[in-house]
Amino acid sequence: MIDIKFLRENPDVVRQNIRNKFQDKKLPLVDEVIALDAESRAVKTEADNLRSSRNKISKQIGMFMAQGKKEEAEAAKKQVEENAARLAELQKLEAEYEEKITKIMMTIPNIIDPSVPIGKDDSENVEVQRYGDPVVPDFEIPYHTDIMERFDGIDLDSARDVAGNGFYYLMGDIARLHSAVISYARDFMIDRGFTYCIPPFMIRSNVVTGVMSFAEMDAMMYKIEGEDLYLIGTSEHSMIGKFIDKIVPAETLPQTLTSYSPCFRKEKGAHGIEERGVYRIHQFEKQEMIVVCKPEDSPMWFDKLWQNTVDLFRSLDIPVRTLECCSGDLADLKVKSVDVEAWSPRQKKYFEVGSCSNLGDAQARRLKIRVADGKQKYFAHTLNNTVVAPPRMLIAFLENNLNEDGSVNIPEALRPYMGGKSVIEAKK
C-alpha cells in the first residue's frame, strides 16, 4: 500500500505505474481516492475546529459561572451540546472516509522499482544469469512420480482416497530425502546468520490482509470455518506478522529469520501434465527466509536473499538460473522480484523453485511496522525468499542426480542428513 500523501502529490506517477502493470481498469481509482481524500481532510479540519472550540467554550463556561453570568453560561452550554452533536456526525464520517480510502489504496499497486522490465506476464520475464551447466543425459528421464514409484516412495492413490486430489504420501527413502533437504536448508541458513523460527501455522485476517492483496488471498488461502483464522500459504506471512503494530529500534535491524512450516494453498485452476504429480499441490513443506530492515538496506538484502537460494541449489549439484520478473508478473505489493528456476533434464528447460521479493514498505505500512531511529519514526522495509520448497525441489533433485540404472546420487552436502549414504537404490 503506497502512502496517500505520495499519491496526492504524484498522481501521474501512480497512474503510469498502473499502466506499467497493465491494470488500466484501476486508473479511475486514482481520481476517486483523491476526491475522497479531499473530502476526508475537510471533515477532519471541521472536526478539529470543533474540538478546539469545545475546549475554549468549556473554559468560558467556568468563567461565566464564577462571575455569576448564568445566562451566558447556559448559552455556552447549549453551544457545546450543538457542537457535540455535529462532532459525533463528523467522527462517523471520518471513520467512513478512512475505511473507503483504505479499501481503495489496498487495491492500487505498489510503485515498482525503475529497474523492473515492463511486460504483461511471466512470458516476458528476463533471464539474468545461469549457474551450473544444464545437462541432458543420454538415457530417458522418467516423469518425477515414476522415479519416486521405483523407490516405493510415493502413494498418490491412497492420498486421493484420504484427502482428494492435490495430496500425497511420501514413503521410505523419498520421504527421508524430503526431510533431509528441509534439515539441510535450515542449517544452511543458520550458518548464514539467520535466526531459526517455527511460526504459527494459522494467522488472523488482519495479518492476511497486511501481507498480501485481496486477489492473492482469494486464490491461495484456506479459511477455518467459524473462526478468524486462515491456514498459511507460506511462513513468510507468519514471520512478517510477528512484527505487527511494533516499533522496532533501529539498532536491532536487520531482523533476519528463517522458518520451517507446512504450507496450504488452494491452487485454483487447471494445469498441464508437467504440473501434476507433486508440482502443484494443496499441502507441502517449505524453508523460508525474511528480512525486516531499514529502507536504504533493502536493495542489498534483496540481492543477498536470492543468492542464498542459488548457492543452496548449486551445493546440491542442481543447475539454476535467475529471472527478473516483469511488471505484469509482480503481485501488487511487490517492488521488485527475482525467480530462481532449476534445470529439468526431462523437460529440457528450467522451472520455478523459488521467488525472492522486495516489498518496500507496503507490508509494513499495512501492518504498522515502524522503525524508531533516534527521534524519527518511519516504516520498515520487508523482504522474503524461498530457501527450498520440497517436494517441488525433489523433482529437480531426482532428475539431476538420477543414474541410468535408476539409482540416485546423494551430493556430499546432503549425506549427513541421509545417514551417510552416497546413493539410494531403486526397488523396482
Rounded distance between C-alpha atoms, residue 398 and residue 145, angstroms? 10
Q: Summarize pLDDT for 142-158 with one digit per residue, the tens.
A: 999 999 999 999 999 99
Superfamily of domain 122-424: Bira Bifunctional Protein; Domain 2 (3.30.930.10)
Work out the pLDDT band at 82, boundaries 50, 70, 90. confident
Work out the pLDDT band at 273, boundaries 50, 70, 90. very low
Average pLDDT over residues 174-185: 96
Given a cut of 60, is residue 361 above it in pLDDT? yes
Sign, CA dihedral 337-321-180-414, equals: negative
Output the nine-digit C-alpha cell for 426.
531403486
Rounded distance between C-alpha atoms, residue 305 and residue 301, angstroms? 6
Phi, psi of 6, deg, nearest 5: -65, -45
Rounded distance between C-alpha atoms, residue 423 and residue 400, angstroms? 13
Work out the pLDDT band at 270, boundaries 50, 70, 90. very low
| Nearest Cα to Cα of residue 286 among 265, 263, 314 | 263
Given a cut of 60, is residue 95 above it in pLDDT? yes
∠ Cα 169 173 178 (to 5°): 65
Output the nine-digit C-alpha cell for 375.
527521534
What CATH number was assigned to the domain covering residues 4-105? 1.10.287.40
The CB density around residue 245, as the number of other CB atoms within 10 Å, is 10
CB 221 within 8 A of CB 208: yes
Rounded distance between C-alpha atoms, residue 106 and residue 209, angstroms? 9
Average pLDDT, the chain: 91
Look at 321 and 213; give whichever has higher pLDDT: 321
CB-based burial label for 84 (10 Å; 0-12, 13-18, 19+): exposed
* Catalytic (active-site) positions: 265, 280, 352, 355, 392
Distances (CA, A) of 146 to 52, 150, 316, 428: 75, 6, 22, 10
Given a cut of 50, is residue 78 above it in pLDDT? yes
Sign, CA dihedral 94-97-100-101, equals: negative
Pairing of strands 336-344, 349-358: antiparallel
Q: Summarize pLDDT for 111-124 with one digit per residue, the tens.
A: 999 999 999 999 99
Which residues are paired to 338 by β-bridges?
Answer: 324, 356
- Please, how many CA atoms are within 13 Å of residue 369, restricted to the half-sphere of its CB? 28
- Per-domain residue ranges of the chain: 4-105, 122-424
For 414, which DSSP code? G
Rounded (10°) angle between helices 172-191 and 298-315: 140
Among residues of the chain, what percentage have pLDDT more than 70? 94
Instruction: Give the pLDDT confidence score for residue 290 in this predicted structure.
Output: 98
Given a cut of 90, is residue 63 above it in pLDDT? no
Output the nine-digit C-alpha cell for 12.
501521474
Which residues are paired to 409 by β-bridges?
Answer: 423
For 418, which DSSP code? G
Give this prediction's pTM: 0.88
Instruction: Give the pLDDT confidence score for residue 276 in this predicted structure.
Output: 65
Q: Summarize pLDDT for 286-305 with one digit per residue, the tens.
A: 999 999 999 999 999 999 99
| Nearest Cα to Cα of residue 288 among 196, 370, 203, 225 | 196
Phi-psi region of 406 (alpha: psi -120 to 50; beta: other; left: phi over 0): left
Q: Summarize pLDDT for 240-268 with one digit per residue, the tens.
A: 999 999 999 999 999 999 999 999 998 75
CB-based burial label for 269 (10 Å; 0-12, 13-18, 19+): exposed
| Nearest Cα to Cα of residue 274 among 194, 332, 322, 346 | 346
